[in-house]
Structure 1
Amino acid sequence: MKALIIGATGATGKDLVQQLLADPDYSEVAVFVRKPLDFSHPKLSAHVINFDKPDEWKQLVNGDVAFSCLGTTLKAAGSNDAQWKVDFDYQYYFAKAASDNKVEDYILVSAYGANAKSKLFYSRMKGELEERVKTLHFGKITIFQPGMLDRKDSDRTGEVLGGKIIKFANKLGILESQKPLPTATLAKAMINAAKIKSNGYSNIKLGAIFSFAEK
């Protein structure tokens, strides 16, 4: 199989790429990035693209399964509009290209609480993306809604602090449903989801992601 990925340089994306490269079911892993990668692999092809110009790269989005785990923070983006461009526009351009090129399987990392009608900007943005993706012509769509992610060497202060608090609470037997999700576990769940032979739409939330990683 051939996998297509955006968000390959983020924490989840890095784990996803490494696991796919080690998976014998995949003969090719194509990533779409803004800058060249700092490593190579016989199964890996890296397309350095301008996400703002999908007409220049949309024909390259050809394969069996498309994984979308692109995302940024408001702090890194600098404004709501800039974050929307990365978290919504770029992901939709990629999904639309995959749909137009008849990629059958689409897997999206969204977020806990995603809701197109939410008054919260981030939740509304994620929810609107989910709704737009559902209008595209994929044979199968799987959307993951993780809560707090446990990223290796994270520089997100709030996330690191929040993760420590929740992990401490977990040791006390509380907030079990909110325990941080390691990005490697999320990546494994995404790969397992791609191997399930089914059609239609699935939404995988919080604790269920751990179960998917064990399949």
Structure 2
Amino acid sequence: MKILIFGATGMVGQGVLRECLLDPDVTQVVSLGRNPTGQQHPKLYEIIHPDLYDYSNIEAELSGIDACFFCLGVSSVGMKEADYARISYDMTLAAATVLARLNPNMVFTYVSGAGTDSSEQGSVMWARVKGKTENALLRLPLRAYMFRPGVIQPLHGVRSKTALYQFFYTLAAPLFPIFRAIFPQQITTTEQLGKAMLIVAKRGSDKKLLESKDIVTLR
């Protein structure tokens, strides 16, 4: 398989990239983003692309993709809805629309989050925007799957680029085994998330919306 990853420098993307590079069924991993991952691997091909709203000059490099793992996102804290939607909705659809045209029926997995609002009418801003994004992706001619993890434990040296989040993960690290024992289906890891995406890319899923419990139990 040839896998395309958006957001490979973020916490989720780092974990997903690791699992893709380890998987023997993956022949090439294309990382697309504004910044390099800082990693080197025979399978890894990086495209540094400043404008994540326009892919017209690199379309040739986006053909022949079997699956796209879209892990790109930002925190909504302190953001106005229009600004958050510009990133979470517009940026995602800009990529997915091009990929749907170049690779009809490819697998496209989108990382949103637990609590995403499919009705697009709720009171929580980020959940409305994510719900709108999910709904738009599901209307495209893609084999699209929405991943809605809850709390994610970073493993294998994966770190969050958001300082406040990383501070929380560092403090919570000794407690994660306890949390996982008490809430086994609400907490996943970067490793589990990456492996679950690969499973869906290989054989699909009977669910289009995968909540945390689905991600944890997917084998």
TM-score range relative to shorter protein: 0.7 to 0.9
Q: How does 1:34-183 map to 2 (within 5 A)?
A: 34-49=34-49, 50-62=51-63, 63-75=65-77, 79-103=80-104, 104-115=106-117, 116-138=120-142, 140-151=143-154, 152-154=158-160, 155-157=163-165, 160=168, 164=172, 167=176, 170=179, 173=182, 175-178=183-186, 180-183=187-190
Are the structure 2 counterparts of residues 21 and 81 from structure 1 closer, same or farther at C-alpha, using a change threshold of 3 Å?
same
Residue 197 of structure 2 is matched in structure 1 by 190
CA distance in 1, matches of 2:166, 2:37: 28
TM-score (norm 1): 0.83
Residue 202 of structure 1 is matched in structure 2 by 208
- Note the residue ranges of structure 2 that are not aligned, 5 or more in a row: none
Are the structure 2 counterparts of residues 156 and 55 from structure 1 closer, same or farther at C-alpha, using a change threshold of 3 Å?
same
CA distance in 2, matches of 1:100, 1:172: 44
CA distance in 2, matches of 1:207, 1:70: 22
Aligned partner of 1:73: which letter? Answer: S
Q: Is the 8 A contact 1:59 1:97 kept in 2?
A: no
SS in 2 for 1:99: helix
Aligned partner of 1:209: which letter? Answer: I
**RMSD over aligned Cα atoms:** 2.8
Aligned partner of 1:143: which letter? Answer: M
Shift of residue 172, structure 1, vs aligned partner: 8.3
CA distance in 2, matches of 1:96, 1:196: 23
CA distance in 2, matches of 1:153, 1:5: 17
- Note the residue ranges of structure 1 that are not aligned, 5 or more in a row: none
Question: Which is further off, 34-43 or 93-102?
Answer: 34-43
Give the number of the structure with larger relative contact order, counting CA–CA contacts within 8 Å between residues 6 or more apart.
2
Residue 15 of structure 2 is matched in structure 1 by 15
Q: How many residue pairs end up in the alignment?
A: 207
